[in-house]
Amino acid sequence: MSAAKQSRPKGTQDLVPPESERRRAVEAAARSVAGRFGFREIITPTFEHADVFVKSSGETSDVVLKEMYRFKDRADRDLVLRPEGTPGVVRAVLENNLALPARLCYVGPFFRYGRPQKGRLREFGQLGVEALGEATGWTDAELVTFGVEFFAELGITDCRVLLTSIGCRECRPGYRSQLVDYLAGRKDQLCPDCLVRLERNPMRVFDCKVETCRVAVADAPKPRGRLCPACAEHFAVVRQALDARGLVYEIDDRLVRGLDYYSRTTFEYLSARLGAQDSLGGGGRYDYLFEEFGGPATPAAGLAIGLERTMLAMPGTPEPARRRLAFVVWFSAAELDHAVKLADRLRAGGIPCRIDFDALGVEKKFKHQVKAADAQGAGCCVIVGPDELARGVYSVKDLGSGEQTEVPANIIIEHLRSVL
Ligand code: HAM
């Protein structure tokens, strides 16, 4: 009886080299750019008590209602694989009594039970940054800039930035009832989902893809038209700060973020390279979230960027033909000792290298090793033969060009640094 092959769960992916290395490079860029803006990394659990998300991300958001991996553990605790990072960060900041203001970032896996498609996975990576305890529009603008800089770092220079303000506790209720009145007169045009949205969170109707709903909201009142003076002033500062930087953005009054905790500024980055799931990332201000967690009133804003979508939007970088790797090649068992010591010395000098030990068991040892080096995509072979050892040199064979040069043993590390 043959064993059945296993496959990965739907909506997950295996990253094998070189894709795994590209992904780590994106994560390294994420940490580096976040560090430049003064964010320090926070690491929180990948699962939390369900309440952390139900109470904050929203009782009306699809992420919470439809997409959470929610389960009971063996002691009947109600847990959730985190669908996003912000609520867990707020919980952790309060639980650990972190001093505010604080700038925190995270890079890690998140889970949403959606319908998988290009750019939409059930396990995906996010870079998130949260500016906690910062109140002004200058911060919001700096966060928008952060995303643009991160994308630029990876060669993504064609993303669009959408921006709006959805108001605050003062102005949103008035706007909400105005919108509900407007949509109530057009109920016959709304899809069943939007009829529910009308009750729970009418702004989500702006996000519906159904044509009749789109027509129904085309001329609906927009939140930006009803901002209170304080929100209007805040938004003016955001725009002024972005304009001062020369950052190009579009005001989009129909921009609806999928989570419930936002207030005032919200924004999103779009890429034309992504297809239907075209949002590279997004964020906004969430001035009331700390209070919802029982903490003191704390202004805050942040954003998150999808790592898989970022990689889809990146310009293709041609894979280098050869890796930064040397194979130390020996002639016979007599030189293996020396080869092993040389490999240790090279590694200590920062040169990645390998030895083909399995050549010991074959007759044509030299050929076996060079073939193995080539198959691994190594950049060169460092040949340790009796003749080389007698003269205090190594022969270095470039596996790209096939050229072979002799290098004095005492400068081998410097030489390999310059050619690999
Ligand atoms: P979000 O818009 O839900 O915001 O997610 C941010 C980004 O994560 C999306 O734009 C997308 O690139 C990526 N993403 C989301 N779901 C998936 C998925 N199923 N597959 C692949 N990528 C996905 C948040 O998560 C907020 N916590 C952002 C934030 C931080 N707001 C304030 N601070």
Indicate the pLDDT class of residue 1, thresholds 50, 70 and 90. Answer: low
Mean pLDDT of 162-183: 94
Which residue from 73, 18, 23 is spatially nearest to 50, judged by alpha carbons? Answer: 73
Which residue, judged by its Cα, is nearest atom 14 of ligand 1? 306
Which residue, judged by its Cα, is nearest atom 12 of ligand 1? 306
Which residue, judged by its Cα, is nearest atom 31 of ligand 1? 283
Indicate the pLDDT class of residue 57, thresholds 50, 70 and 90. Answer: low
Which residue, judged by its Cα, is nearest atom 15 of ligand 1? 306
Using DSSP's 3-state secondary structure scheme, residue 223 falls into: helix
Residue type, 19: E
Strands 326-330 and 353-354: parallel
Arithmetic mean of pLDDT over the chain: 94
- Mutate which of 105, 279, 312 for ligand 1? The one with the most ligand atoms within 8 Å of its CB, which is 279
Mean pLDDT of 186-199: 91
* Cβ contact 53:64 at 8 Å: yes
- Mutate which of 139, 166, 309, 311 for ligand 1? The one with the most ligand atoms within 8 Å of its CB, which is 309
Residue type, 149: E
Using DSSP's 3-state secondary structure scheme, residue 106 falls into: strand
Decide if pLDDT at 262 tops 90: yes
> Which pLDDT tens digit goes with each residue over 93-115?
999 999 999 999 999 999 999 99
Distance 276 CA to ligand 1 centre (A): 15
Q: What does the DSSP assignment read for 227-286?
A: --HHHHHHHHHHHHHHHHHT---EE-TT---SSTT-EEEEEEEE-TTSTTS-EEEEEEE-
The neighbour count for residue 398, using CB atoms within 10 Å, is: 15
Share of the chain above pLDDT 90, in %: 86
C-alpha span between 305 and 91 (Å, rounded): 21
What does the pLDDT read at residue 225? 87
Distance 79 CA to ligand 1 centre (A): 20
What does the pLDDT read at residue 355? 98
Which residue, judged by its Cα, is nearest atom 20 of ligand 1? 120
The residues with which 395 forms a beta bridge, in sequence order, are: 383, 406
Distance 190 CA to ligand 1 centre (A): 27
Decide if pLDDT at 309 tops 90: yes
* Cβ contact 80:50 at 8 Å: yes
What does the pLDDT read at residue 2? 73
Distance 241 CA to ligand 1 centre (A): 25
Q: Which atom of ligand 1 is nearest to the CA of 130?
A: 33
- Hey, what are 167's tokens? 């108001």
Distance 256 CA to ligand 1 centre (A): 13
Distance 282 CA to ligand 1 centre (A): 7
> Which pLDDT tens digit goes with each residue over 312-355?
999 987 777 899 999 999 999 899 999 999 999 999 999 999 99
In sequence order, what are the residues at sequence separation of 6 or more whose Cβ sits closer than 8 angstroms to the Cβ of residue 208?
191, 193, 194, 197, 214, 217
- Mutate which of 64, 161, 259 for ligand 1? The one with the most ligand atoms within 8 Å of its CB, which is 259
Q: Which atom of ligand 1 is nearest to the CA of 259?
A: 3
What does the pLDDT read at residue 58? 64
Distance 123 CA to ligand 1 centre (A): 12
- From residue 339, alpha-carbon distances to 213, 216, 335, 395 in Å are 71, 75, 6, 13
Mean pLDDT of 371-389: 97
Angle at 300 between CA 296 and CA 304, to 5 degrees: 135
- Hey, what are 78's tokens? 């109600």
Share of the chain above pLDDT 70, in %: 99
Relative orientation angle of helices 137-153 and 229-245, to the nearest 10 degrees: 40
Angle at 58 between CA 53 and CA 62, to 5 degrees: 100
Using DSSP's 3-state secondary structure scheme, residue 404 falls into: strand
- Mutate which of 126, 127, 277 for ligand 1? The one with the most ligand atoms within 8 Å of its CB, which is 126
- From residue 95, alpha-carbon distances to 52, 98, 253, 261 in Å are 12, 8, 36, 20
Decide if pLDDT at 254 tops 90: no
Distance 180 CA to ligand 1 centre (A): 27
Q: Which atom of ligand 1 is nearest to the CA of 57?
A: 27
Which residue, judged by its Cα, is nearest atom 30 of ligand 1? 303
Which residue, judged by its Cα, is nearest atom 18 of ligand 1? 120
Decide if pLDDT at 35 tops 90: yes
Pocket of ligand 1 (CB under 6 A): 84-86, 112, 114, 119-121, 124, 126, 128, 130, 258-259, 279-284, 286, 302-304, 306, 308-309
Query: Which of 55-59, 199-203, 390-394 is predicted least confidently?
Result: 55-59
C-alpha span between 57 and 176 (Å, rounded): 19
What does the pLDDT read at residue 320? 79
Distance 339 CA to ligand 1 centre (A): 50
Residue type, 384: V
Q: Give the residue, 107 or 4, on which the prediction is more confident.
A: 107
Which residue, judged by its Cα, is nearest atom 2 of ligand 1? 282
Which residue, judged by its Cα, is nearest atom 25 of ligand 1? 84
Report which DSSP code applies to 90: H
Cis peptide, bond prior to residue 18, ω within 30 of zero? yes
User: Element (H or E) spanning 393, and its range?
Assistant: strand 393-398
Strands 279-285 and 300-306: antiparallel
| Exposure class string for 68-105: b at 16+ Cβ within 10 A, else e | bebeeeeeeeebbbbbbbbbbbbbbbbeeeeebebbbb
Using DSSP's 3-state secondary structure scheme, residue 214 falls into: helix
In sequence order, what are the residues at sequence separation of 6 or more whose Cβ sits closer than 8 angstroms to the Cβ of residue 408?
392, 393
Mean pLDDT of 256-266: 90
